[in-house]
Amino acid sequence: MIDLRSDTVTKPSDAMREAAAGADVGDDVYRDDPTVNELEARAADLAGMEAALFVPSGTMGNQVAIRTHTDRGQELLCDEGAHVYKWELGGIPQLSGVQPRILDCDERCVPTPEGVADGYVAEDLHRPGTGLLCLENTHNSRGGVAVPKEHVDAAARAAHDRDVPVHLDGARFLNACVALGEEPAAMTEHVDSVMFCLSKGLGAPVGSVLAGDEAFVDRARRVRKLFGGGMRQAGVIAGPGLLALENVDRLAEDHENARRLAEGLDDVEGLSAPEPDTNIVMVNSEAAGLTGEELSAACEERDVAFAAFGEHTCRLCTHLDVSDGDVAVALDRIADAVQAA
């Protein structure tokens, strides 16, 4: 099976399994785990932030950030396709008592300063006030769009001008940095916190990181405990996480494979796939007379797995466990599936 469902399906390498087995550990709730401490320090440094917190998942990292930045009853600004809004089980109201307000932005989900200005609500007797702006990079539901630094900075400045802090949901933040040729620390220059996943393109079996300034991370550590994310000998998962940080530069290979995959799909009669920015390919099968579900089912029979992501759209991800040879084989099988339909 060539598994293109997500970049989360990678299996830990032998080196990661050895790092798990051999990790120096302690009780991380007491801050005694040297491997977690090292991972947090290295991740903070990479993100250009003072401190970082190891969390079990990207969802927890985002929701801890939201709870830490906001007060109950406030509003949070994000775009309609934002993961924090659309794919986290309504965590914003459930876990923080905060109401999302949808930000206008263009079809690639690049936020604009005007959108932030329009969405901003000043606190008064009747209105709750805006407590946070959430940005996303790369943008998942728009197909791994890498939002350029100027756009991130401009939206963040518009928020800061109104005393609103900014959280960046960067589950695939490092994909964005590699695609744009930007240093991660430069990309976070104007945001107050950033979450990125070790378990997506970087290949770790589990874990994400939430980074920000020291005062923020101290408060976030208490919220992580509240949400049940205080972990004990977590060095066994932080060890593989440290190795994941060495997989940043190779993300360029996933992006190249995604470009070749999109090109090949676009050449199949009835399919169209725009050139991807990063490792997520969106393919439309309407002209082939196939729904996304039908296309993915026909390909699954041919041992290529990916999921529908809209009526006539499917999403395919390249990752560490997909070689350029796999891309060629997957393309042949998908073309065969479309022809047979």
Ligand X SMILES: *Cc1c(COP(=O)(O)O)cnc(C)c1O
The residues of the shown chain that bind ligand X, judged by CB under 6 A, are: 57-59, 62, 83, 136, 140, 169, 171, 197, 199, 208
Residue with smallest beta-carbon separation from ligand X? 58
Instruction: From residue 155, give the alpha-carbon distance in Å to each of 110, 280, 282.
Output: 9, 24, 26
Q: How far apart are CA 36 and CA 28, in angstroms?
A: 7
Minimum gap (Å) between residue 251 Cβ and ligand X: 14
Q: How far apart are CA 20 and CA 307, in angstroms?
A: 31
Pick between residue 119 and residue 229 the one whose CB is nearest to ligand X.
229
Minimum gap (Å) between residue 255 Cβ and ligand X: 16
Q: How far apart are CA 94 and CA 195, in angstroms?
A: 20
Pick between residue 83 and residue 255 the one whose CB is nearest to ligand X.
83
**DSSP E strands, 171-301:** 193-197, 208-212, 280-284
Q: Which of 64, 134, 52 is nearest to 95 (CA)?
A: 64
Instruction: Kindly state the helix (H) or strand (E) to which residue 223 belongs, with its residue range.
Output: helix 214-226
Minimum gap (Å) between residue 59 Cβ and ligand X: 3
Pick between residue 105 and residue 268 the one whose CB is nearest to ligand X.
105
Minimum gap (Å) between residue 92 Cβ and ligand X: 13
Pick between residue 138 and residue 285 the one whose CB is nearest to ligand X.
138
Minimum gap (Å) between residue 44 Cβ and ligand X: 19
50, two tokens: 């003072």
Pick between residue 67 and residue 298 the one whose CB is nearest to ligand X.
67
Q: Which of 153, 143, 130 is nearest to 175 (CA)?
A: 143
